[in-house]
Amino acid sequence: MIDFSKPPKIGEIVEGKVIGKEKGKVFFDLGPFGTGIIYGKEFFEAKKNLKDLKKGDKISVKIIDLENEEGYIELSAAQAGKEMAWENLREKRERNEILKIKILGANKGGLLTEIFGIPGFLPLSQLSSQHYPRVEDGNSFKILKELQKFVGQELEVKIFDLSQKERKLILSERAKEIEKIKEILKNYKVGDIVEGEITAILDFGVFFKFDQNLEGLIHISELDWKIIEDPSKIFKVGQKLKAKIVKISNSRVFLSLKALKNPAIS
């Protein structure tokens, strides 16, 4: 709540009630603070939101000048909206909320979106295992082509990193599954042999799913020293095998077939 017993400050967000409109200007009653105005650059930045305001309507505005040439307190609706958007994002991060976003674009590093008018970025490394592009040879052009398929789709994410000062909003789809993965991984240790199936075959190895949706990588060097040139000639998607866990790091699992004499499931 704003303390009206104290003088207004530049940067403060207050509630203003519309008392009049002219071409390129909107006037606000700021209570004990006096009369405020949005005009010039600030009017055109928020023109879309200001045009439908009627006398008596109330909105949040930011004080950017205590007294302009005409004696009014100069205000900004656009800056107030951005401040409140960042505050909303901070609260959602503190509550560890899952957010539903719409993908607006893609680049070689990940996916682009917007939350409350704030540009957000979902890096390639923070995609869930389900959506991570399975691209042979890690070709950046092929990765971009796969990522572009997500444009227009909705994904569920959590806020991974947030900085209003740096205008940075980094999101993570993987974060919402990490807690579940960590819980499942408590049942496993390095050296355990697990049963599962191949979900993808790439030139650097194969992805192997076990224990429902837990997925790990069998690097090409851990397949078999005889078949390190082209895994697709030996394996196929859906093939059921046994594999040995050789490493667990940062909620990721690495496995080996080479460590087993007979990886096939009869």
Query: Each residue of 241-264: pLDDT tens digit?
Result: 999 999 998 788 999 998 787 676
Query: Each residue of 22-33: pLDDT tens digit?
Result: 999 999 999 988
* Cβ atoms within 10 Å, residue 151: 13
Q: Are residues 169 and 202 in the same domain?
A: no
Question: What radius of gyration, in Å, describes the C-alpha atoms of the chain?
Answer: 27
Residue 263 lies in a domain: no
Residue 251 lies in a domain: yes
The residue assigned the tokens 């530049």 is 10
Residue 166 lies in a domain: yes
Check whether 2 has a pLDDT greater than 60. Answer: no
Check whether 5 has a pLDDT greater than 70. Answer: no
Average pLDDT over the chain, rounded to whole?
A: 88
- Residue 191 carries which DSSP code? T
CATH of the domain at 36: 2.40.50.140
Residue 264 lies in a domain: no
Q: Are residues 167 and 219 in the same domain?
A: no
pTM recorded for the entire structure:
0.68
Query: Each residue of 137-155: pLDDT tens digit?
Result: 567 788 899 999 999 999 9
Residue 77 to residue 190: CA distance in whole angstroms: 57
Structural domains in the chain (count): 3
- Residue 72 carries which DSSP code? P
Query: Each residue of 180-215: pLDDT tens digit?
Result: 888 888 889 999 999 999 888 877 788 898 987 788
Of 202 and 116, the structure prediction assigns the larger pLDDT to 116
Query: Each residue of 31-88: pLDDT tens digit?
Result: 988 999 999 999 999 998 898 899 999 999 999 999 888 899 999 999 999 999 999 9
Q: What is the pLDDT of residue 1?
A: 45
pLDDT band at residue 172 using 50, 70 and 90 as cut-offs: very high
User: Do residues 171 and 158 lie in contact, with contact meaning Cβ atoms separated by under 8 Å?
Assistant: yes
Last residue of a domain, one of 26, 55, 82: 82
Quote the domain boundaries for residue 122.
96-178
Q: Give the residue among 217, 246, 248 at the shortest CA–CA distance from 231.
A: 217
Query: Each residue of 126-140: pLDDT tens digit?
Result: 898 788 887 765 677
The residue assigned the tokens 């719409």 is 102
Burial 129-147 (b: 16+ CB within 10 A, else e): bebbbebeeeeeeebbeeb
